[in-house]
Structure 1
Amino acid sequence: GQKLLAKKGDFDQMTNILAAGGTIATLADQDAGPRGQFVDFFGRPASTHKAIALLAMEFNVPMAVVGVPRVGKPMKYQVVCEDIIDPQEYEGRPDALHAITQRYTSALERMIRKYPEQYFWLHRRWKHQPPVKKSKQPQAA
């Protein structure tokens, strides 16, 4: 069976499921707010949820980036696995969290490019942007 989890506040339930050997599926294309992991998405920085990569690394579980595009009418779909990400490939890398997050975001982008008319474009994917780094140079008077 399946159990739906809330977008917020269910991280502990996700860890419990993985600790028990279960599987979770997430929708990973929403803006993650100002504290998200910023990765490239269609050439622009996009705040992306880092919990997905954190869970994969913590529990050493692979991530499958999957889509279900419509391939015919009526009601004909195909399950497509765009990438399988093994967190062990990133073990010991200081940028592992960013690299895994970028990799699954890039896989999602590839699927969207194949079927752009089927992607749900209504949310503000680039709502939050990385903070602008302030220059240490004094301003001219």
Structure 2
Amino acid sequence: MARRRLSHQGTLALDSEGLSKLLADDEQVVALIAEARSRGMEVVISALTIIEAIHARTNKSRLNWVPSGLRVVPIGDEEARAASQLLMNAGLHGHKHAIDAAVAEAALRQHRPVVMLTSDVDDMAKLCGDRIRLVAV
């Protein structure tokens, strides 16, 4: 399988699917993260991504270990307001897209260039515009 190339330096952000695939030791995601780290990119997730990525079959020991190798970006009042503004600007509803908006907002605050591994390229493009490079996983 051909590997996708990431930008030099900057930040690699994972949405819930990116984290889920990392937890599952997905070959493509593990390779993209290794490449990002070799280029000096920081790998981050939103604190809310941990909640969204959990399901009944999640390996709990990996869930406890994997985020320790990532920077977990907190979401507070100010960040929630900024995420709400992203939703309004994109014409999306918080009921369905609240966590996506928080993930997008966290990614937008990171050192650029920012690349995001996501399964939801369409909605993330609406939320992030062209400020983040989206890579489908």
Same fold (TM over 0.5): no
Relative CO higher for 1 or 2, CA cutoff 8 Å, sep ≥ 6?
Answer: 2
Structure richer in helix, relative to its length: 2
Please, what TM-score do these two structures have when normalized by structure 1? 0.29
